[in-house]
Amino acid sequence: MRSLTVAAVFVLSVFGAQLVRIQGLDAHAVASEAEANRVTAQIIPAMRGQVLSSDGTVLASSVVREVVVVNQQAVCTYRTKKPTCAPETSKAAVEAAAEKLSPLLGTPRSELVEQLTGDSKYRILSKDVTPLTWNKIAELGIPGIASDRRETRSERVYPQGQTTAALVGYVLDNGDPGGGVELMVDEDLQGTPGKITFERGRDGTAIPAGESTSTPAVDGRDVSLTINSSLQWYAQNALAQRIKETKATSGTVVIMNARSGDLLSVASYPTFDPDTDIGKKGVHLDNKAFSDVFEPGSTAKIMTMSAALEEGTVTPSTPVVIPNRLPRYDASFKDSHDHPTEYRTVAGTLAESSNIGTVLVSETLKPATLERYFRSFGLGSRSGLGYPGESAGLLPPSDTWSGTQRATVAYGQGISVTAVQAASVFQTIANGGVRMTPRLVDGVTEADGTVRHAPEATPQRVVSTQTAEDVSAMLEGVVSDEGTAEEAQIPGYRVAGKTGTAEYYDSRVGRYSGKTASFIGYAPADDPEIVVAVIVQKPTYPFFGGYVAGPVFKDVMTYALQELRVPPTGSKSRKLTLEVDPGKALKDPDVLRDGVKHPKR
């Protein structure tokens, strides 16, 4: 008895000491620990904002996905009128539930029977159920089938699929943007998650009278682009078809508003499926119009011509004597084909796309002057859009140009550009010599419905209106029957443009490999509305810009003029002299010829 008494006193003393510690000394800490065990938090995901085209077409949006779960100890009572599972009825109950759920969950009936059978109170059946489908499931009234709202998530969908994937970009499984517009304007699109806290009992259910707090989620803002969905679809398909026909490796089509610089379409090929291709090996996820650089070739000649016209060293009618070969330093330059000595004007030089003639024109300028104009046209720097992965291209300082590079830069080799930069050069001429920074984002819709418009582009005059008009008239000569791009003519419209065929530098092999074929132009030439640039990389022979890219330009431009309801102007083209009499050319004091220093240099 004494031993029992001592033991009882000892145990009670321990209990008493614990009570004193818990209720007296550690009361606050213990209460906080108990509350922490009772209180749970649930994150409410914010819906990511939509990406829309200029005409309101949805390019990217978020949808809710319900997580459907099962309590296997309850589903076995389906249609049995029994409170608990019974061996004689459970199998039939589960099979009946599986029969109803199978078409809604997209799961084979036999597989679903296995998932519904067992003793687990919580098993996930699907994480990819739309709210509409869940409503249909809930209407079945199957015991134990529920939607776990704690696991509800949003999923990014792209209704236009591959047509806009390379431009809009994609979102990773963790919700982070992976590229394109999704990354470019992520701050506006992402939104702010909400949070619910509540007290729960030992069985995990919320305590009705317990404390709870709620912070609602703030959905992301909708972003509207300058892209026209119809033009994007048409350009993407026309480009893909031509690349397959010419067995090329890649290409881009850029459509710009000639006056505002707004990008109406930025097609890139190859592209990808944003719903199935993310994470696959070898998939091209970038937009080549921004990321890929290439030597522009003859499309760059309009910058050389513009600089010389603006500086007053030549006019469109200045005679140019073009030999079959032009020796410079340790190289001998030639045109795309052998020919006897030709007698052309500066306008004819551009129409015929003569490399030799262009070099002679460039030699009327100092290298630093030529570089200054090239940079004013946007070369050597990013466009200002802020598009992820955009390249600045390559324009070395003129004081580093070698003797041969001094000549090649004039006709677009030894420098590199992106398709957007190349299109912007032509936009500048089409806009009367005023360059507009390209725009892709038009506006952002706030939560209250107001629209915050993106700033308008800042105009930058590069050349005078007169110079732009002269170059434009010369570019019409390129598309004439006497030029290199008859394929780009559009019945009823005046078209100005330029072909380009250049060596393609393949960084993967570290050398030149294949060609870059291009055509860039605008219409109507006398009142420009639309600029279209077509770039095709490494087509098979014939690989010339007029043959490869010209038909795509004509096809896309014709559709764009109709889609945007641009009527023909009805005016006639300005006629320029393209060829001159040899006798008169040689007597002209301003003639450009090898070995004769230009008087205005």
Kindly tell me if the per-residue pLDDT of 184 is higher than 80. Answer: yes
Structure tokens at 528: 């420009």
Q: Residue 512 and residue 515: Cα distance in Å, rounded?
A: 8
Q: What are phi and psi of 258, to 5 degrees?
A: -65, -30
Q: What is the CATH number of the domain that holds 516?
A: 3.40.710.10
Residue 78: partners with Cβ closer than 8 Å, 6 or more residues away: 93, 94, 96, 97, 142, 143
Structure tokens at 388: 């992820």
pLDDT tens for 290-332 read: 999 999 999 999 999 999 999 999 999 999 999 999 999 889 9
Give the DSSP H or E segment for 198: strand 194-199
180, part of any domain:
no
Q: Residue 265 and residue 144: Cα distance in Å, rounded?
A: 51
| Least confident stretch, 29-38, 185-194, 434-443, 459-468 | 29-38
Task: Name which of 223, 497, 583 is nearest 386 in CA terms.
Answer: 223
65, part of any domain:
no
Q: Residue 534 and residue 547: Cα distance in Å, rounded?
A: 12
Please compute the mean of the pLDDT values over residues 472-482 and round it to a whole number.
88
Instruction: Give me the domain span that covers residue 486.
Output: 229-587
Q: Which residues of 535-559 are buried (b: 16+ CB within 10 A; e: fewer)?
A: bbbbbeeebbbbbbbbbbbbbbbbb
91, part of any domain:
no
- Cα dihedral value 469, 472, 473, 477, nearest 10: 170
Task: Name which of 248, 234, 245 is nearest 164 in CA terms.
Answer: 234
> How confident is the model at residue 28, as a pLDDT?
61
Amino acid at 421: Q
Integer CA distances (angstroms), 375 to 31, 212, 306, 423, in order: 70, 61, 13, 14
Q: Residue 483 and residue 578: Cα distance in Å, rounded?
A: 10
Kindly tell me if the per-residue pLDDT of 390 is higher than 50. Answer: yes
The pTM of this model reads 0.84
Q: How many CB atoms lie within 10 A of CB 458?
A: 10
- Cα dihedral value 156, 161, 163, 167, nearest 10: 20
Residue 150: partners with Cβ closer than 8 Å, 6 or more residues away: 42
Confidence category of residue 598, pLDDT binned at 50, 70, 90: low
C-alpha of 549 from chain center: 21
How buried is residue 574: exposed, middle or buried, by Cβ count under 10 Å (0-12/13-18/19+)? middle
User: What Rg, from alpha-carbon coordinates, does the chain have?
Assistant: 35
Q: Residue 575 and residue 476: Cα distance in Å, rounded?
A: 9
Render 496-559 in DSSP notation, one character per residue: EEEEEEEEEEETTTTEEEEEEEEEEEEESTTS--EEEEEEEESPPSS--HHHHTHHHHHHHHHH
Higher pLDDT, 8 or 322: 322
For 270-364, where are the E strands, in sequence order? 319-322, 326-328, 331-333, 342-345
Reduced to 3 states (helix: H, G, I; strand: E, B; else coil), residue 332 is strand
> How confident is the model at residue 229, as a pLDDT?
96
Amino acid at 483: G
In the numeric block, the tokens 């004439």 are attached to 480
| Helices assigned H by DSSP within 363-396 | 367-376
**Considering its fold, how many domains does the chain have in total?**
1
Q: Residue 365 and residue 305: Cα distance in Å, rounded?
A: 11
In the numeric block, the tokens 């006056």 are attached to 259
> How confident is the model at residue 21, as a pLDDT?
64
For 405-490, where are the E strands, in sequence order? 434-436, 441-445, 451-453, 459-461
Reduced to 3 states (helix: H, G, I; strand: E, B; else coil), residue 417 is strand
Q: How many CB atoms lie within 10 A of CB 589?
A: 7
Q: Which residues of 204-234 are buried (b: 16+ CB within 10 A; e: fewer)?
A: eeeeeeeeeeeeeeebbbbbbbbbbbbbbbb
Most confident of 274-288, 468-482, 527-541: 527-541
In the numeric block, the tokens 């050069």 are attached to 425
Please compute the mean of the pLDDT values over residues 369-389 and round it to a whole number.
95
Structure tokens at 209: 């009278």
Query: DSSP state, 25?
Result: I
**Percentage of residues in the chain with pLDDT exceeding 90?**
61
Query: DSSP state, 439?
Result: B
> How confident is the model at residue 26, as a pLDDT?
58
Most confident of 83-92, 378-387, 566-575: 378-387
139, part of any domain:
no
Q: Residue 419 and residue 253: Cα distance in Å, rounded?
A: 8
523, part of any domain:
yes
197, part of any domain:
no
Strands 51-52 and 222-225 turn out to be parallel
Kindly tell me if the per-residue pLDDT of 203 is higher than 50. Answer: no
Q: If phi over 0 gives left and psi between -120 and 50 gives alpha, with beta otherwise, what is residue 279?
A: left
In the numeric block, the tokens 């300058």 are attached to 226
pLDDT, mean over the chain: 89
529, part of any domain:
yes
Kindly tell me if the per-residue pLDDT of 338 is higher than 90. Answer: yes
- Cα dihedral value 322, 327, 332, 336, nearest 10: -10
Task: Name which of 270, 293, 290, 268 is nearest 280 in CA terms.
Answer: 270
> How confident is the model at residue 200, as a pLDDT?
60
487, part of any domain:
yes
Please compute the mean of the pLDDT values over residues 511-533 and round it to a whole number.
95
